[in-house]
Amino acid sequence: MKLKCPKCSNELNHIDSTYKCNNNHCYDLGKSKYLNLYLSNTKDHGDNKEMVKARANFLNQTYYLNLANKINEIIKSKEITNLVDFACGTGYYTNIFKNTNNFEVYGLDISKEAIIYASKSNKLVNYIVASTFDSCFYDNSVDCITNIFAPIKLDEVNRILKKDKYFIFVSPNPNHLLQLKQAVYDNVYLNEVTTLVHDNLELVESHDLNYQISIDNNQGIKDLFLMTPYYYKTSISDMAKLGKLENLTTTIDFHIQVFKKK
Ligand SMILES: [Zn+2]
């Protein structure tokens, strides 16, 4: 796919280890061949190194492999020539999509640390540090967008997606990670189901996927907690409750929605 320059929107051309537009805006490839198109003055954005490590450790234990397989099954049922994984993190799902299908795959995340990790893990995926709210793709150019547990800007999905093509959105159901939350909080709130509404995106499929996972070591439990959004909102005293927990069986409950662009 063609990529657009984040400064002037002209096409970027890949020349050796650089991407360059005809206004001479230049973006060098990182050591592990990832591209950084995120324009920001702040140095750190998205997951930091510790969070990336926790995410990678947890996902590499295959607790979420069922989810990856389910999404992949949906993808395989569609006609797709390219796929963009929004907020791809460490590339766990992205790599599975690339390794088991025959189309171009891009992974976007604003966390440079996550993209460095992802780009080292798979050279066949185009990993890019970029915002999914203002992405580097042209209008009507993408066949499939996946977004797993991340905030989403539907106008951007609608802009880059081709007509009659697909947006796959995964969010937690109310009981997702219930027992993990019960281990930490005195008052547990159930997750609210995310409702997406956009005039140009039609819901064509939805699936629920639930099962139990058992984690038998403290580090694994902490890794899981670190990759949840609860991590940001939890007091030190509540966090301390995880300190000695060695075993946890918890409910995994995903909601998968497939939208088609009108
Ligand atoms: Zn430019």
Query: What is the pLDDT confidence band of residue 30, given thresholds at 50, 70 and 90?
Result: confident
What distance in Å separates the CA atoms of residue 132 and residue 257, rounded to the nearest whole number? 18
pLDDT number for residue 41: 62
Q: Give the C-alpha distances (Å, rounded to integers) separating 79 from 31, 90, 219.
A: 34, 26, 41
| Residues 106, 216 within the same domain | yes
Cα torsion 100, 101, 105, 110 to 10°: value is -40
What distance in Å separates the CA atoms of residue 88 and residue 3, rounded to the nearest whole number? 18
pLDDT number for residue 46: 84
Q: What is the distance in A from the centroid of ligand 1 to the CA of 116?
A: 24
Report whether 188 contacts 238 (CB < 8 A). Answer: no
Pure H helices in the chain: 49-59, 65-76, 92-99, 112-121, 154-160, 178-184, 218-226, 236-240
pLDDT number for residue 170: 97
Q: What is the distance in A from the centroid of ligand 1 to the CA of 149?
A: 31
Residue 128: both structure tokens together: 């890019």
| Residues 195, 167 within the same domain | yes
| Residues 22, 125 within the same domain | no
| 209: β partners | 254
Among 75, 78, 80, 98, residue whose Cα is nearest residue 88? 98
Q: What is the distance in A from the centroid of ligand 1 to the CA of 153?
A: 24
pLDDT number for residue 103: 98
Question: Once rounded to an integer, what is the mean pLDDT over residues 215-219?
Answer: 95
pLDDT above 70 covers a percentage of the chain that reads 98
DSSP at 52: H
What distance in Å separates the CA atoms of residue 46 and residue 48, rounded to the nearest whole number? 6
| Residues 42, 94 within the same domain | yes
Cα torsion 92, 46, 14, 29 to 10°: value is -90
| Residues 37, 95 within the same domain | yes
pLDDT exceeds cutoff 80 at 182:
yes
Instruction: Provide the CATH number for the domain around residue 249.
Output: 3.40.50.150
Q: What is the distance in A from the centroid of ligand 1 to the CA of 184?
A: 48
| Residues 13, 69 within the same domain | no
| Residues 64, 25 within the same domain | no
Q: What is the distance in A from the centroid of ligand 1 to the CA of 2?
A: 13
| Residues 159, 42 within the same domain | yes
Q: Taking the model in full, what pTM does it have?
A: 0.95
Q: Round the average pLDDT of the chain to a whole number and report it.
A: 94
Q: What is the distance in A from the centroid of ligand 1 to the CA of 25?
A: 5
Count of domains in the chain? 2
| Residues 55, 6 within the same domain | no
| Residues 146, 257 within the same domain | yes
Q: Which domain holds residue 2?
A: 1-30
Q: What is the distance in A from the centroid of ligand 1 to the CA of 197?
A: 33
Report whether 156 contacts 150 (CB < 8 A). Answer: no
Query: What is the pLDDT confidence band of residue 43, given thresholds at 50, 70 and 90?
Result: low
| Residues 98, 209 within the same domain | yes
| Residues 19, 101 within the same domain | no
Angle between helices 112-121 and 92-99 (to 10 degrees): 30
Q: What is the distance in A from the centroid of ligand 1 to the CA of 8?
A: 4
pLDDT exceeds cutoff 70 at 42:
no
Question: Once rounded to an integer, what is the mean pLDDT over residues 105-113?
Answer: 96
Residue 149: both structure tokens together: 């547990």
